[in-house]
Amino acid sequence: MKRFIKIYILIFLLVFLFLSSNYSAEVINLRVSWWGSQTRHNATLKVIELFEKKYPNIKITPEYTAWSDYWTKLNTQAAAQNLPDVIQHDYQYITEWVTRGLLLPLDDLIAKKIINLSDVAPQYIQPGIIKGKTYGINLGVNALGLVYDPELFKKAGVPLPKTDWTWDDFKNTVIQLNKKLGIYGVEGFTGQIECFKIWLIENGQWLYSEDGKNLGFDEETFTKWWKMMLELEDANAVPSIAVDVSRTGLGVEDQFIVKQKSAMSLAWSNQLIAISRAANRPLKMALFPRISKTAKSGSYLKASMFFSINAQTKYPKEAGMFIDFFTNSIEANKILAAERGVPISKKIQAFLKPQLTPAQKEAFDFIKLVEKYGSPTPPPDVPRHAEVSNNVIGPIWEQIRYKQISLDKAFAQLKSQAEKILQRQ
């Protein structure tokens, strides 16, 4: 009898412990924010469902918008100390947010392998490191390049872009395409600061000085760039600023390359998939031209975006677990399908490769080209870059393209106004 009583007591204790452990499991609510298209929203929501099934005690509240509204919303939340736990972040803003103390260093989570980066090459981790600490996990490797239509090149009898083509080759190619076909040689190029950054890299310079207090380029390099750009605009080989302004806000399906009104288009590698889908024909990607055939291309690997963690989160471990799931889960990446860029995990890359569409394969191959022939990733933009870009660079670029200002006066104004912002206390 005593033996049965002992058994009953043991069973009771086991049941009690089992129920207690289940009832005591804290339900954790994480907020996760991101920007993107409806395609990205749908895929991310499906991954969230997978994550919640794997970790039933963690519930995710998704917060997603288009890029145009995203940063306004986040800055409002930051002012109210009500940021999401996991924040999709961008290269041009992450240094500023680190300076403001809004992001959590992730090194401890990485050391404990809560965020496991053991399968990730160092160059893919580097973009998220600011001031010696990791604040962002790269969600996909991207590189800026030129999408081109090989059939239009063939029709024009113009040689296809080579890995070692120069800026003179580029200029002649753009002009010849325009003359032979009566279409633009390239679109979306002349007013883009990202193109100018690549030109600076190839000339051994950068947008800002190392301390972020001054411009990092000289007048000669600035003038050479704009003389080339204006020559292309004067030849009508690229869209004028009036045309560019009239097309602001149009979708990918309205791009000139989609409608075969341009033979090339500026694009990030992950955008090739959407452009090819809209064009419904095979498109390719080329590296940026070089200043000489023996120099490196200024194309570089860039984090398409990051996941960062709110410095004030109550749940850093669980937020890290979510980021790790995005990075290392095969099931999750099967759904995500490299839409945010080439995944940083070697294991995930190997898994996805046999399943790639032709456009996805071209994007993956382009990343390998940049790894081989491109330049090192430049530092993230300085904290006041957005203000300089919006209030100084953008307006002066417009004046140059409308020919309302000479290049020497443009450089003098750019230097004076930008450095006033950069040096402000």
Note the pLDDT tens digit of each residue in 86-120.
999 998 899 999 999 999 999 999 999 999 999 99
Strand partners, 147: 265, 285
- Considering only 156-170, 336-350, 400-414, which range has the smallest mean pLDDT? 336-350
Give CA–CA dist 117/101, Å, rounded. 24
Residues with Cβ within 8 Å of residue 338, at least 6 apart in sequence: 140, 270, 352, 356, 360, 363, 364
Handedness of CA 303, 305, 310, 315 (dihedral sign): negative
CB atoms < 10 A from the CB of 254, how many? 11
Average pLDDT over residues 396-404: 96
Report the share of the chain in percent with pLDDT over 70. Answer: 94
For 119, 288, 342, 343, the CA distances from 353, given in Å and listed in that order, are 16, 25, 10, 11
CB atoms < 10 A from the CB of 322, how many? 23
Report CA 46 to chain centroid distance, whole Å. Answer: 22
Domains recognised in the chain with CATH numbers: 27-140+304-361 (3.40.190.10), 143-301+378-422 (3.40.190.10)
The pLDDT of residue 24 is 44
| pLDDT tens, position by position, 18-30 | 444 444 468 999 9
Average pLDDT over residues 222-250: 93
| pLDDT tens, position by position, 246-268 | 888 778 888 999 999 999 999 99
Flag whether pLDDT at 15 surpasses 70.
no
Number of H helices, E strands in the chain: 19, 11
User: Residue 392 — very low, low, confident or very high, per pLDDT cuts 50/70/90?
Assistant: very high
